[in-house]
C-alpha cells in the first residue's frame, strides 16, 4: 500500500490512507483492526486575549487556534480531528493543565517533531506542554474524575503591574484566616445550585458535586485559593470565590456558606456577591482514571518537548 507524502511545510504533513504510519518520510502499513489513533494534549495558555476554550471562529478561542495548527500539520478537517477538551474555560480564564484529545487515521513513530511544529504554529500565549498517544478508553472529558482550579488575589494596597492579568486586586484588606474557615464549609458532597450561573447550552448538569479540598494560602501579598473537586458547574468556582471575598472583608460571617448552599437558589447568593472577575482564575490540572491513562502498545514515546543543541566551539590554540 502506498500513498503520497507532502513534505512542505513539515515532513509529517500527510495525505494518506487510514491505516498508515509516518517513519522518516515513508508510509508504513498498519494493522487494519486499528483504523484510528488518539492523541492526548496537555496545554497551557494565557486566556487574556481569548473568548474562552470552546471553539468559535470569532472572537478567537483557544480551541480554534489549536485546531488551525492541527489542520495544517495533519492535513485533516476539524470534523475528522474531533478535538475535545476536558472543560470549557471562560473568556479571560487561564490554564496550566488543560487537557484535550484529537484523532488521526494514521500513526506516528515519533511525536517530537509534531510537538515542536504545534508550538511553532500556535500563538505565543498558547503552548502544548506534552503530547502523548492515548488508548481508545481515554476521553479528555468523560475520563476525568476531578479538576483543580486556583484563584489568585492580590491583597496589597498597590497592585503589582506584573500580576494584573493573572490576579484580582482587592481594594479591601482581606482576612485570610476567616476565608480559610469559610472555605471548609464547601468541602464535602453538596448541591451547588446556588453557586451556578445559568448554563450556556441546553445540557442539564447534575448539581451534586464533591469538593475534596479548598485551600487558602498566603504568599506575600498574593492570596491563592485552590479548590479540588469531582467537577464544577458553570461559574461555580468564581461564585464561591466571590462569596469568600465578601467574608474576607468581614462583611458577612463564614457560616453564610452553609446557609446559601441549603437554599439551592442562585438568587440567594446574588444578595451578597457577584461572580469574581475571570483573570484571577486558572485551571491547574485535570485528574483522570488511572486505567484510562495507560499508553497504547503500538504508540510512540511521549513527547515533553525538545531542546535545541549546539556543537562545542573549537577555538584554535594561539
Q: Where do the domains of the chain lie? A: 20-142, 145-284
φ and ψ at residue 249, rounded to 5 degrees:
-80, -5
**Beta-bridge partners for 143:** none
Is 5 exposed, middle or buried (CB count within 10 Å of its CB: 0-12, 13-18, 19+)? middle
Q: Which pLDDT value is given to residue 302?
A: 97
Architecture of domain 20-142: 2-Layer Sandwich (3.30)
The pLDDT tens digits for 158-180 are 999 999 999 999 999 999 999 99
**Within 13 Å of residue 64, how many CA atoms lie on the same side as its CB?**
13
Beta pairing class for 84-85 and 37-45: unpaired
- Residues of the chain under the 70 pLDDT cut: 1-35, 199-204, 311-318
The residues annotated as belonging to the active site are: 90
Cα 282 to its chain centre, rounded Å, is 8
Q: State which CATH number among 3.30.70.660, 3.40.47.10, 3.90.480.10, 2.160.10.10 fits the domain covering 145-284.
A: 3.30.70.660
CB atoms within 10 A of CB 4: 8
Residue with cell 507524502: 5
**Beta-bridge partners for 149:** 227, 283
For the entire predicted model, the pTM comes to 0.86
Q: Which pLDDT value is given to residue 308?
A: 73
The C-alpha torsion from 29 through 31 and 33 to 39, rounded to 10°, is -80
Amino acid at each position: 500500500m502506498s500513498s503520497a507524502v507532502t513534505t512542505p511545510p513539515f515532513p509529517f504533513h500527510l495525505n494518506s490512507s487510514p491505516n498508515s504510519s509516518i517513519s522518516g518520510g515513508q508510509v508504513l502499513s498498519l494493522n487494519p483492526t486499528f483504523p484510528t489513533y488518539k492523541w492526548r494534549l496537555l496545554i497551557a495558555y494565557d486566556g487574556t486575549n481569548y473568548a474562552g476554550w470552546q471553539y468559535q471562529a470569532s472572537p478567537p478561542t483557544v480551541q480554534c487556534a489549536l485546531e488551525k495548527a492541527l489542520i495544517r500539520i495533519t492535513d485533516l478537517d476539524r470534523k475528522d480531528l474531533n478535538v475535545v477538551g476536558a472543560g470549557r474555560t471562560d473568556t479571560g480564564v487561564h490554564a496550566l493543565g488543560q487537557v484535550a484529545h484529537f484523532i488521526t487515521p494514521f500513526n506516528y513513530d515519533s511525536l517530537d517533531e509534531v510537538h515542536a511544529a504545534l508550538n511553532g504554529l500556535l500563538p505565543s500565549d498558547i503552548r502544548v506542554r506534552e503530547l502523548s498517544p492515548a488508548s481508545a478508553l481515554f476521553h479528555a472529558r468523560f475520563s476525568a474524575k476531578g479538576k483543580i482550579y486556583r484563584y489568585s488575589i492580590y491583597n496589597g494596597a498597590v497592585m503589582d503591574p506584573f500580576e494584573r492579568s493573572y490576579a484580582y486586586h482587592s481594594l479591601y484588606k482581606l482576612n485570610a484566616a476567616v476565608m480559610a474557615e469559610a472555605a471548609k464549609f464547601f468541602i464535602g458532597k453538596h448541591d451547588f445550585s446556588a453557586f451556578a450561573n445559568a448554563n450556556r447550552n441546553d445540557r442539564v448538569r447534575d448539581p451534586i458535586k464533591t469538593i475534596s479540598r479548598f485551600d487558602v494560602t498566603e504568599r506575600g501579598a498574593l492570596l491563592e485559593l485552590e479548590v479540588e473537586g469531582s467537577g464544577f458547574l458553570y461559574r461555580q468556582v468564581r461564585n464561591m470565590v466571590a462569596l469568600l471575598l465578601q467574608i474576607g472583608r468581614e462583611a458577612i460571617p463564614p457560616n453564610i456558606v452553609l446557609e446559601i448552599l441549603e437554599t439551592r437558589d442562585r438568587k440567594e447568593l446574588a444578595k451578597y456577591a457577584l461572580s469574581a472577575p475571570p483573570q484571577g482564575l486558572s485551571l491547574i490540572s485535570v485528574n483522570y482514571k488511572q486505567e484510562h491513562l495507560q499508553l497504547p502498545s503500538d504508540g510512540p514515546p511521549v513527547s515533553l518537548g525538545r531542546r535545541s543543541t549546539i556543537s562545542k566551539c573549537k577555538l584554535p590554540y594561539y
